[in-house]
Amino acid sequence: MVEVQHLLSKYILEISKVKDEGTLYAALSEITKKVLNYEVLNVLKDGAIVHSDPHMEIDRTVYADFVPWVEERLSPSFVPVEDGFVGLIPIFKGTKVLSMVVLKTPNEPTSETMDYLQLVAYLSGVTLENLRLLEFVDKARGYFESILNLANDGIVVLSGGTTEFANTKAKMLFDEYPELLVLIMSNITGEEGSFELELGKLFLSVFVKPVRLLGEEKLLVGLRNITSEKEVQKLRELDKIKTNFIANISHELRTPLAAIKAYTETIINTEMNHEEIMEFLNIVYEQSLKLEQLLNDLLDFSQMESHTMKLIKEEVNLCVVMNQALDTVRNLALQKKVEIQAECDNNLSVICDPRRMEQVLVNLLSNAIKFSDDKKKNKYVKVRISKVSPDMVEITVEDNGIGIPNDKLDKIFDKFYRVDSELTYSIPGTGLGLAIVKEIVELHNGEIAVLSEEGIGSTFTVRIPTRDPEKE
Q: What minimum distance in Å lies between the beta carbon of 239 and ligand ADP?
A: 19
DSSP one-letter code for 353 = -
Residue 53, phi then psi, degrees to nearest 5: -145, 115
The verdict on 166 binding ligand ADP (CB under 6 A) reads: no
Query: Which of residues 204, 352, 385, 404 is near ligand ADP by CB under 6 A?
Result: 404
The verdict on 154 binding ligand ADP (CB under 6 A) reads: no
The residues with which 208 forms a beta bridge, in sequence order, are 193, 221
Name residue 437's amino acid.
Answer: V
Nearer to ligand ADP, 109 or 431 (CB): 431
The verdict on 402 binding ligand ADP (CB under 6 A) reads: yes
List the end-to-end C-alpha distance of the chain, in Å, as a whole number: 98
Dist. CA 287–CA 253, nearest whole Å: 10
The verdict on 439 binding ligand ADP (CB under 6 A) reads: no
Dist. CA 312–CA 300, nearest whole Å: 14
Nearer to ligand ADP, 209 or 337 (CB): 337
The verdict on 329 binding ligand ADP (CB under 6 A) reads: no
Dist. CA 317–CA 352, nearest whole Å: 10
DSSP one-letter code for 234 = H
Among the candidate windows 76-84, 234-242, 322-330, 397-405, which touches ligand ADP by CB under 6 A? 397-405
The verdict on 418 binding ligand ADP (CB under 6 A) reads: yes
Non-local (6+) Cβ contacts of 204 within 8 A are: 173, 180, 196, 197, 198, 223, 224, 225, 226
The verdict on 354 binding ligand ADP (CB under 6 A) reads: no
Nearer to ligand ADP, 9 or 421 (CB): 421
Q: What minimum distance in Å lies between the beta carbon of 385 and ligand ADP?
A: 17
Dist. CA 205–CA 192, nearest whole Å: 14
Q: What minimum distance in Å lies between the beta carbon of 335 and ligand ADP?
A: 16
Site for ligand ADP in 440-469 (CB under 6 A): 458
Dist. CA 344–CA 328, nearest whole Å: 17
Describe the crossing of helices 111-150 and 2-15 by its angle, rounded to 10 degrees: 10
Nearer to ligand ADP, 21 or 439 (CB): 439
Query: Which of residues 429, 439, 446, 462 is near ligand ADP by CB under 6 A?
Result: 429
Q: What minimum distance in Å lies between the beta carbon of 381 and ligand ADP?
A: 8
Cis peptide before 256 (omega within 30 of 0): no
Query: Which of residues 434, 448, 462, 464 is near ligand ADP by CB under 6 A?
Result: 434
Q: How many CA atoms lie within 13 A of 79 on its CB side?
A: 18
Q: How many CA atoms lie within 13 A of 373 on its CB side?
A: 17
Query: Which of residues 412, 441, 448, 462 is near ligand ADP by CB under 6 A?
Result: 412
Name residue 386's amino acid.
Answer: S
Q: Which of 180, 184, 182, 159 is nearest to 171 (CA)?
A: 180
Mask 358-377, x = binds ligand ADP (CB under 6 A)?
A: -----x---xx--x------
Q: Binding residues for ligand ADP, how many (CB under 6 A)? A: 22
Q: What minimum distance in Å lies between the beta carbon of 318 and ligand ADP?
A: 20
Q: Which of 51, 60, 56, 59 is nearest to 32 (CA)?
A: 51
Mask 60-79, x = binds ligand ADP (CB under 6 A)?
A: --------------------
The verdict on 293 binding ligand ADP (CB under 6 A) reads: no
Q: What minimum distance in Å lies between the beta carbon of 253 and ligand ADP?
A: 14
Residues that bind ligand ADP (CB under 6 A): 363, 367-368, 371, 399, 401-404, 412, 417-419, 424, 429-435, 458
